[in-house]
Amino acid sequence: MVTVRLENVTKRFGKVVAVDNANLEIKDKEFMALLGPSGSGKSTLLYLIAGIYKPTQGRIYFDDMDVTELPPKERNIGLVFQNWALYPHMKVFDNIAFPLELKKESKEEIKKKVTEVAKMLKIDHLLERYPYQLSGGQQQRVAIARALVKEPGVLLLDEPLSNLDALLRMNVRAELKRLQKELGITAIYVTHDQAEALAMADKIAVIREGEILQVGTPDDVYAKPWCKFVGGFLGNPPMNFVESTVIRESGELLIGESRIPAPPKYAELLKKFDVSKVLLGFRPHDAEVIELKPNMPDPPMLVGEVFAAEPLGRETIVTVVLDDETYVKVFASKEQKFDVRDKVGIVLDLEKALLFDKKTELVLERAFEKKEFS
């Protein structure tokens, strides 16, 4: 239906830069998540696309049409809010019918369309109720129905699930994803919840302080973060970061007392460029905790002490304090038993581990590319 494109979009409120030179393309029928902590400018970006704010600089295109100067109503968008913004004095039917009434459509047409969209969202039995007579999940469906009833080209969602309780959120998440695919509508979804973004989106744009740090598929953004922030923001628990010193001669990393080989894909880079301090990043799933046994040859590993072990049912999160006082979290199988203060070793899957530049916090290959490293 619609491809949305942002070109060098900047939005300032007085001196505050809410969105800083954003370039982004959301393809037709794509589900794009704008992910970031609160105050990162992700909602501002959404409101810029909606036309509620006008960019200070830059252009916004819907397909090939420049919509930068168009008011919201001429952009044919559906908008769903975090608090759903249902009109409390109107019944569900009137809430959903409101956009159509503004378009001055005929009574029969309105009735037909409202019933249709209500059936699709399974709220057709609630049409005669007032919003306060509905549960949170039902109110949320009404809000989505109101956004969809005018058949928008783009569906914009501003944290629509944050007001729901945890269990309901999981269900609605799946339903919303299914709905988006069935309708084949371009969707832009603002969230601060990384799990939501990973679960639902075709693509994720990670935003911090008004800047789009990385755009990619959930797999890409999860496995190959471009910077420490992205690695630390996605995943639960997030990526571990361990400060390490590069030993150039042997191509090894020194972490406290432990020595491990540098991840193989960095071997060349480390030889070519002169860096001494790096951050070693690895996901809690990409490592293994082993007991230290005397008179056994040590594989290359990080050595530490168990700080706590938290069984989650299927597996256990083990928090380990390394000898340089860094805390890391690693998943272990539930069969492994750990006590506090046990000496353990952490063996990394070096193929999946990443190195980040210590100063710029960029992943090393990008830091070299940009020639920004310490």
Give the interface with other proteins as residue ranges (CB under 8 A): 50-52, 72-73, 77, 79, 81-83, 85, 87-89, 98-99, 102-103, 131-133, 146, 150
What lies within 8 Å, CB to CB, of 86 at 6+ separation is 95, 131, 139, 142, 143, 146
**Cβ distance to other proteins smaller for residue 100 or 344:** 100
| End-to-end alpha carbon distance in the chain | 46
Query: Which residue has tokens 């200070």?
Result: 56
Q: DSSP strand E in the chain: where? A: 4-13, 16-26, 31-35, 57-62, 65-66, 77-80, 154-158, 186-191, 203-208, 211-216, 240-247, 252-255, 258-261, 277-282, 287-291, 302-311, 315-322, 327-333, 343-348, 354-357
Give me the least distance between CB of 76 and other proteins, in Å please.
10
**Cβ distance to other proteins smaller for residue 88 or 297:** 88
**Cβ distance to other proteins smaller for residue 56 or 245:** 56
Pairing of strands 203-208, 287-291: unpaired
**Cβ distance to other proteins smaller for residue 103 or 359:** 103
Whether 171 and 161 have beta carbons less than 8 Å apart is answered as: no
Give me the least distance between CB of 196 and other proteins, in Å please.
20
**Cβ distance to other proteins smaller for residue 79 or 205:** 79
Give me the least distance between CB of 37 and other proteins, in Å please.
21
155: phi then psi, degrees, rounded to nearest 5: -105, 120
**Cβ distance to other proteins smaller for residue 97 or 212:** 97
Give me the least distance between CB of 59 and other proteins, in Å please.
20
Query: Which residue has tokens 């000496």?
Result: 343
Burial class (CB within 10 angstroms; exposed 0-12, middle 13-18, buried 19+) of 269: middle
Distance, in Å, from the CA atom of 158 to the CA atom of 14, rounded to the nearest integer, reads 24
Distance, in Å, from the CA atom of 272 to the CA atom of 281, rounded to the nearest integer, reads 21
Give me the least distance between CB of 154 and other proteins, in Å please.
11
Give me the least distance between CB of 188 and other proteins, in Å please.
14
Give me the least distance between CB of 160 and other proteins, in Å please.
12
Distance, in Å, from the CA atom of 137 to the CA atom of 208, rounded to the nearest integer, reads 30
**Cβ distance to other proteins smaller for residue 103 or 181:** 103
Give me the least distance between CB of 324 and other proteins, in Å please.
48
**Cβ distance to other proteins smaller for residue 132 or 182:** 132
Give me the least distance between CB of 193 and other proteins, in Å please.
20
Q: What is the DSSP string of 300-365?
A: S-EEEEEEEEEE-SSEEEEEEEETTS-EEEEEEETT----TT-EEEEEE-TTT-EEEETTT-BBHH
Distance, in Å, from the CA atom of 177 to the CA atom of 200, rounded to the nearest integer, reads 6
**Cβ distance to other proteins smaller for residue 54 or 370:** 54
